[in-house]
Structure 1
Amino acid sequence: MTDYGRPVEFGYFLVPNAGDPLLKLASVADDLGLDLLGVQDHPYQRRYVDTWTLLGMIAATTQRIRVFPDVACLPLRPPAVLAKAAASLDLLSGGRVELGLGAGGFWDAIEAYGGPRRTPKEAFEALGEAVEVIRAIWSGERNRRFDGTHYQLKGAQSGPVPAHPIELWLGVSGPKALALTGAKADGWLPSSSWATPDKLPGMNARIDDSAAEHGRRPEEIRRLYNVHGTVTAESVEQWVEELTDLAVGFGMDTFVLWAEGEQEPQLRRFAEEVVPRVREQVAMERGA
């Protein structure tokens, strides 16, 4: 049993299909009181609108929900410019932006769009360098320098400074990348499709060990979870039980619904029927 005691939060995973009512769904999530709205980032997918353009539109047409790429495609998003974009949107939205980051994976499609084809070792190295570059650009300091294999800063003038300390979440799975998360990231952002519940204890342990090695407390690191499935009237009770167990038994603290099928009814059922009961159940079990 693992429970880091962090407050539970809830979000919605938006697939940026150009033909879908994206801004309406975002507004519904905002009105329903969800904490976060994540947008997957696959620039090479012809049916999708651009993730950062959509995030900007969502931030401009909502009031309180926080937005983030789930996760940004690093090989097609130069980290210094990505950091600038995130800081700018955070400033313009009043501090409502976080940053999910991935090393990349669909290499044929990435290469087709002019990006680099990287080996697993190169992708990990680039991700670690990107974390350093992003932090430097958020610092607001002048004459920033970084000499990496994949990325460099040569006297960069950083800024603007974000409106709030943007959290950097890594969507990673390998042992070295999990260790990087424990050492340098603010959160871990896996999906239930590949980080199934039975794998979470071992993966969290790798993050925790690395955090301890670098003088950090494991509870400093947010544990998000993209939960893939269908929310029906008949499955509400199962959702409540499973998300509560993931929070108090597996250490996950932030649940982002990735719904299959018709979106708005499931979004409403999740926010209105599942979320409040999970909050109540987690509080009760922690109190007990």
Structure 2
Amino acid sequence: MPDYGNPLRFGVFPAPDADRLDETMATVRAAEHGGLDLVGIQDHPYQRRHLDAWALMATILARTERVSVFPDVANLPLRPPAVMAETAASLDVLSGGRFELGLGAGAFRQAVSAMGGPSRTPPEAAGALEEAVEVIRLMWWQRSSVRYDGRHYRLAGVKPGPPPAHDIGIWLGVGGPRMLAAAGRLADGWVPSSAYFPPEKLPAMAERIDAAAREAGRDPAAVRRIYNVMGTVDGSGAGSFQGPAHAWVEEFTRLAVEVGMDTFVFAPDQGGAAQVERFAAEIAPAVRGEVARLRGSG
């Protein structure tokens, strides 16, 4: 797999639990002060312990100055895409261009249905996600009105706006063959998580994205690769991301130059802000330096 040469970025994936808000905000502050780039917030409205993702993202943007924020990933079945597009654009304007849009098809069908959302089969969910990408982009166009007539979503002469402050990326949190191909054709980024897709699964998945991008006449480098990694620095638990900082540096460097992953979003299994401080101080700069060295050597 090629290294597409995209700039490396690093972020955090804090827990959005209402009873851990102080810990969440301490993690965000550690990311902001440590020079990290992103904060990802999971969106599970049916999870009673979680704060609403969009309210929390707005709060984080209001309390930070530099870091960007994205839903990791937004729950499409419970969030109409036209309304989501306006909310995303509004947050981007209010934050001075610090919002990106992660989007998912909604994996927990029973929970979505229990909250009043549509109960879609996997093919239906995939089709709705593909349509949603098109609807959202139409809602960001500076046109007097837009129309869309899909199986799952319709726009009937709606007036789009406000426009985002920058070109918001649409990143798909997907793993199946059809949706990986859709990411290659349609999306600006791909967001797998190590809990579901450990490092050894990434090359084959990335190849499917690349093939679909080329078939659509796109440069595969246009699809950013954002990897949610769950683990503990100096940890000894199960999973791909444990052990000392140098082991993390080696693995991230390998994933960057051999698989094309360019963004690493850290979800500490334990330790919260202290783990993020180590991630920012010991891992992110070392990976940047090593990848720059390898790129410079050809």
Shorter-chain-normalised TM-score: which range? over 0.9
Q: How does 1:131-150 map to 2 (within 5 A)?
A: 131-150=133-152
> Which residue of structure 2 aligns with residue 71 of structure 1?
73
Query: Aligned partners of 2:27, 2:150: CA distance in 1, in Å?
Result: 40
> Which residue of structure 1 aligns with residue 92 of structure 2?
90
Structure 1 residues not aligned, in runs of 5+: none
Asked whether 1:266 is paired with 2:275, we answer: yes
More divergent stretch after superposition (55-64 vs 194-203): 194-203
Query: Aligned partners of 2:45, 2:218: CA distance in 1, in Å?
Result: 35
* Paired residue secondary structure (1:100): strand
Asked whether 1:283 is paired with 2:285, we answer: no
* Paired residue secondary structure (1:204): helix
Q: 1:240 aligns with which of 249, 259, 283?
A: 249
Residue 162 (structure 1) shift: 0.1
Query: Aligned partners of 1:56, 1:166: CA distance in 2, in Å?
Result: 16
More divergent stretch after superposition (16-25 vs 80-89): 16-25
* Paired residue secondary structure (1:227): strand
Q: Indicate conservation of the 8 Å contact 2:27/2:273, yes or no.
A: yes
TM-score, normalization: structure 1?
A: 0.98
Query: Aligned partners of 1:25, 1:274: CA distance in 2, in Å?
Result: 16
Runs of 4+ in 1 over 3 A off after TM superposition: none
Q: How does 1:1-288 map to 2 (within 5 A)?
A: 1-20=1-20, 21=22, 22-232=24-234, 235-288=244-297
User: What is the CA RMSD across the aligned residues, in angstroms?
Assistant: 1.1
Q: Indicate conservation of the 8 Å contact 2:26/2:273, yes or no.
A: no
TM-score, normalization: structure 2?
A: 0.95
Residue 76 (structure 1) shift: 0.5
* Length, aligned pairs only: 288
Q: Indicate conservation of the 8 Å contact 2:104/2:173, yes or no.
A: yes
Q: Indicate conservation of the 8 Å contact 2:181/2:212, yes or no.
A: yes
Q: Indicate conservation of the 8 Å contact 1:169/1:188, yes or no.
A: yes
The amino acid that maps onto 1:205 is: E
Q: Indicate conservation of the 8 Å contact 1:232/1:266, yes or no.
A: no
Query: Aligned partners of 2:30, 2:195: CA distance in 1, in Å?
Result: 25
The amino acid that maps onto 2:75 is: C
